[in-house]
Amino acid sequence: MDFPQNMSMEEAFALAEAEARLNAALQESKVRFDKAEMPNRLNEDWRFGRPHVYAREWAARFKDGENCFEYVGFDNSDEHITRLTADDEDLRQTEMLMPTIGSDALLALHLKRFGDGHVLYIEEDTKEPICLGYGTRWAASPSTFIMVAPGVKAEVAITYACLEIGYIFATCNIQVAEGAELKVRVNTWGDGADGRCMLITNIQNMGGKVAHLTEYQGLRWVREETVAEIYAPGSETKLFSANKLGENAVLDQHTKQIHHAGGATSDLLYKNVLDGNATATFAGNIYVAPGAHNTDAYQSNRNLMLSEDATVNSLPGLEILADKVRCSHGSASGPMDEEQLFYLLSRGIPTYEAHQLIADGFLNEAIEKFKG
C-alpha cells in the first residue's frame, strides 16, 4: 500500500485498517458467491415459475459488457445527490454484503457492473420527492444508496424503465437513522414487449419510519427481493406493493421482515390484479430474533384474479424466536366481487371500465396506505 507523504501515522493505520476490512469483505463475498448456485427449482426461494430459464437468460445478458443506459438521471436538482462511481469502495462493500433471498449468484453478476447509479445523503427535509430515473433497451445495473440523517423527513421516487427488450437489475440500499422518516416509491415499467426487472432492496431501519412502495406494470418478468432489517426499538417499517399483471406477465416477490430489536413494528401489504395467464408468486417471512420482545409485525398478500387462467402462489411465513410478540399474516386470492361489478354496471359504466375501476380501487388501498 502507498501512503501519501504528508499522512500521519494514525491516518496511515486507519487507512490500512480500512483497506484490510475491505479486503476481508471482498474475500467474504467471493466465498459467498463461489458457494452460490444459479437459481433452480430445488432452491426453495426459486420454487415457482421457470427459474432456470429466467436465470440463464438473465446471466447471458449480464455476463459481459457495459451498462447500456438509455438514460440515467433525476428531474430536480438537489445537492443531496451524487453520482455513484466504480471506485467508491465503501459502497461497493455495502452492496457486496447486502442480503438476497436466493440470488447471491445473480447479485455477483450485478456487482461486475458496479459503478452506475446514485448516492443520496439526505441531511435536511426534502420539500419535494427526490426523483431518480433509469432506463435501458438492453441491460443495465443501477445501484441506489439512500441514507437519511437523524430526524430528517424525505421522499424519494425511483423509476426504472425496461424499454422493448430491456433488462434492469437494480439494487437499492436504504439506511434510516433514528427519528428520520423516509418514503420511497419505486415504479418499474415496460412498454409491453419483453421488459424484465430484478430489484433487490435492503432497508436498515435504525429507529426511524420507513414506507416503501413498489409498482410494476407492462413487464414480462419481475423478481423482487426486499429485506427489511429493524435494528432499534420504536422503528416503523411499512412495505407495500400494488401491481396490475397482464397476459404472460410473471411477478415473483420475496420479502423478509427481520426484527433484530424488540419494541418495533413492521407491516406489509402486497396486492396484485391478475389478468390473462399472469402468474404472481409471493413468499414473505417475518423473522423475530431471540430477545426482540414486544415486536408487532403483520404481513398480507391479496390478489384479485380477473381470469381463470391466472395463477397465484402465496406463501406467507412467520419465524418467531422471542416472547411477547404480536405477529400475524394473511393471504387471500379470489375473483372480482359480482355484487361490486353489478353495482357499477347498474350505473351505466361499461364492463371494461367497471373492471378497471374495481381493479384500481383494489390496488389503491396499498397506495393510499403508503401515502399515509
Do the Cβ atoms of 169 and 109 come closer than 8 Å?
yes
Cα–Cα distance, 153 to 210 (Å, whole number): 10
Q: Hey, what's the torsion of the CAs at 228, 232, 234, 235, to 10 degrees? A: -20
Q: Does 213 bind other proteins (CB under 8 A)?
A: no
Q: Does 330 bind other proteins (CB under 8 A)?
A: no
Task: Retrieve residue 61's grid coordinates.
Answer: 445478458
Angle of helix 9-35 relative to helix 104-112, nearest 10 degrees, comes to 130
Judged by CB under 8 A, which stretch of 23-31, 36-44, 209-217, 342-350 contacts other proteins?
Answer: 342-350
Between 4 and 348, whose beta carbon lies closer to other proteins? 348
* Shortest distance, position 194 Cβ to other proteins, whole Å: 31
3-class SS of residue 309: coil
Q: Does 340 bind other proteins (CB under 8 A)?
A: yes
Between 44 and 360, whose beta carbon lies closer to other proteins? 360
Task: Retrieve residue 232's grid coordinates.
Answer: 432499534
| Upper half-sphere CA count for residue 35 (Cβ side, 13 Å) | 7
Q: Does 346 bind other proteins (CB under 8 A)?
A: yes
Number of residues that bind other proteins (CB under 8 A): 25
Q: What is the DSSP string of 15-51?
A: HHHHHHHHHHHHHHHHHHHHHPPPP-TTSGGG-SS-H
Which residues inside 348-367 make contact with other proteins, applying CB under 8 A? Answer: 348-351, 353-354, 357-358, 360-365
Judged by CB under 8 A, which stretch of 64-72, 191-199, 320-328, 347-355 contacts other proteins?
Answer: 347-355
Sequence-ordered list of residues with C-beta below 8 angstroms from that of 48, at least 6 positions apart, any chain: 252, 279, 281, 313
Q: Does 164 bind other proteins (CB under 8 A)?
A: no
Between 3 and 342, whose beta carbon lies closer to other proteins? 342
Between 324 and 347, whose beta carbon lies closer to other proteins? 347
Q: What residues line the site for other proteins (CB under 8 A)?
A: 337-340, 342-351, 353-354, 357-358, 360-365, 368
